[in-house]
């Protein structure tokens, strides 16, 4: 089972604020914490003192702290890749290599005596992970995570994200990606247009970002890149991440009937396996509610994302729930009862035949 996480940046906040945020994340079952040493300029002792306090607190909540570093930082702090005692003393669960070494060093680092995890950058698109694997790492201590991108329009394209993620999936290496909080105000750097891995996620509600990553089947862990997400966002993330089935939000039509509401929102929907290019069909509602009335109303032509229920004019199909996958003419036998909200419309492309899903009314 994957994990949820948050990011903290101790040098840009206070211990009290970080502590309160970790408490909140812990309340909703978050297990991971990301923090970065990349922007640190102080000496080794001061760095260790500042970070150890907050890392120790996270550890007391049974959370796992991953520290972002690169080879230059090893030099700056006078640390060697074959001696990770500095991070052990700090209490870190693992270290994330923003920029890697040559492959041999990473493999050796996975065999450190402290069991410190080594998380490598998934976003480069090179054969980096294949190279590390050729040096026989301890894969129990090897993880992957995508970058986050504070500059608008620099985030990953979906195609590149898939290509990179699949390189790690084939080795069963744990994968992670970042999502963007709309309530958060800062990250590790002065510039921050939000902090997400996928550019398409930047302006979406956080729960929608999480649903998408879950539906791709490529990502184990999901972390908020920026600080601080609101309690409402953390709660929504946990619900989306831990949901048994994905839920799409529906904006209902003003004249939706009570029977139609029952069809949409009181049922687990199943995407029929004999798929159509025109519509996603959830047929059980016509069986469950065959004795209920579905009079014709709002029978306009249909566009992608419209949520439909066949009315009495369709005979044995009366009460069947559907979602339009493309534009269709309406001859009067189909009621348009709602619409998948615009920001979640793209999630339709990730539902698979034979999969189950839920619909929820958008407030």
Q: pLDDT, tens digit, for every residue of 227-282?
A: 999 999 999 999 999 999 999 999 999 999 999 999 999 999 999 999 999 999 99
Residue of 263, 264, 267, 269 lying closest to 282 (CA atoms): 269
The pLDDT score that the predictor gives to residue 226 is 97
Structure tokens at 311: 């009315």
Section 191-213 average pLDDT = 96
The pLDDT score that the predictor gives to residue 4 is 98
Higher pLDDT, 43 or 313: 313
Q: pLDDT at residue 41 above 90? A: no
Section 203-213 average pLDDT = 98
The pLDDT score that the predictor gives to residue 49 is 84
The pLDDT score that the predictor gives to residue 71 is 87
Section 348-353 average pLDDT = 96
The pLDDT score that the predictor gives to residue 179 is 98
Q: pLDDT at residue 363 above 90? A: no
- DSSP β-bridge partners for residue 350: none
Q: pLDDT at residue 39 above 80? A: no
pLDDT digits (tens, 9 = 90+) for 294-312: 999 999 999 999 999 999 9
Indicate whether this model's pTM tops 0.75.
yes
Residues above pLDDT 70, as percent of the chain:
100
| Banded pLDDT at 43 (limits 50, 70, 90) | confident
pLDDT digits (tens, 9 = 90+) for 134-153: 999 999 999 999 999 999 99
The pLDDT score that the predictor gives to residue 76 is 85
Q: Which residue has the tokens 């069991």?
A: 115
Average pLDDT, rounded, for the chain: 96
Structure tokens at 198: 């996928």
Q: pLDDT at residue 88 above 80? A: yes
pLDDT digits (tens, 9 = 90+) for 126-135: 999 999 999 9
| Banded pLDDT at 29 (limits 50, 70, 90) | very high
The pLDDT score that the predictor gives to residue 116 is 98
- DSSP β-bridge partners for residue 308: 322, 336
Kindly list the structural domains of the chain, giving each domain's residue range(s) and its CATH number in brackets, ordered by start.
4-243 (3.20.20.70), 248-361 (2.40.100.10)
């Amino acid at each position: 089972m994957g994990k949820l996480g948050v990011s903290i940046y101790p040098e840009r906040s206070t211990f009290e604020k970080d502590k309160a945020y970790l408490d909140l994340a812990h309340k909703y079952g978050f297990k991971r914490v990301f923090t970065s040493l990349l922007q640190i300029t102080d000496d080794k002792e001061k760095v260790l003192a500042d970070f150890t306090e907050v890392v120790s607190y996270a550890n007391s909540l049974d959370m796992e702290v991953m520290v972002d570093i690169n080879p230059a930082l090893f030099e700056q702090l006078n640390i060697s890749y074959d001696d990770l005692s500095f991070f052990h003393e700090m209490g870190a669960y693992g270290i994330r290599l923003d920029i890697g070494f040559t492959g041999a060093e990473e493999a050796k680092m996975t065999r450190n005596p402290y069991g410190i995890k080594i998380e490598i950058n998934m976003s480069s698109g090179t054969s980096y992970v294949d190279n590390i694997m050729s040096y026989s790492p301890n894969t129990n201590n090897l993880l992957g995570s995508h970058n986050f991108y504070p500059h608008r329009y620099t985030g990953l394209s979906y195609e590149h994200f898939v290509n990179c993620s699949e390189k790690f999936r084939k080795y069963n290496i744990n994968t992670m990606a970042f999502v963007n909080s709309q309530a958060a105000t800062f990250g590790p750097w002065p510039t921050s247009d939000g902090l997400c891995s996928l550019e398409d996620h930047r302006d979406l509600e956080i729960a929608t970002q999480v649903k998408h990553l879950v539906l791709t089947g490529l990502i184990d862990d999901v972390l908020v890149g920026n600080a601080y997400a609101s309690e409402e966002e953390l709660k929504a993330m946990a619900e989306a991440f831990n949901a048994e089935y994905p839920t799409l939000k529906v904006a209902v039509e003003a004249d939706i009937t009570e029977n139609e509401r029952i069809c949409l929102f009181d049922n687990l929907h199943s995407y029929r396996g004999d798929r159509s290019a025109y519509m996603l069909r959830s047929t059980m509602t016509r069986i469950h509610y065959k004795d209920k009335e579905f009079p014709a109303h709002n029978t306009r032509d249909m566009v992608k994302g419209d949520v439909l229920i066949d009315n009495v004019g369709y005979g044995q199909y009366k009460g069947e729930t559907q979602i339009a996958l493309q534009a269709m003419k309406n001859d009067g036998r189909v009621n348009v009862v709602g619409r998948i909200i615009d920001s979640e419309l793209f999630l339709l492309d990730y539902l698979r035949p034979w999969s189950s899903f839920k619909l929820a009314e958008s407030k």
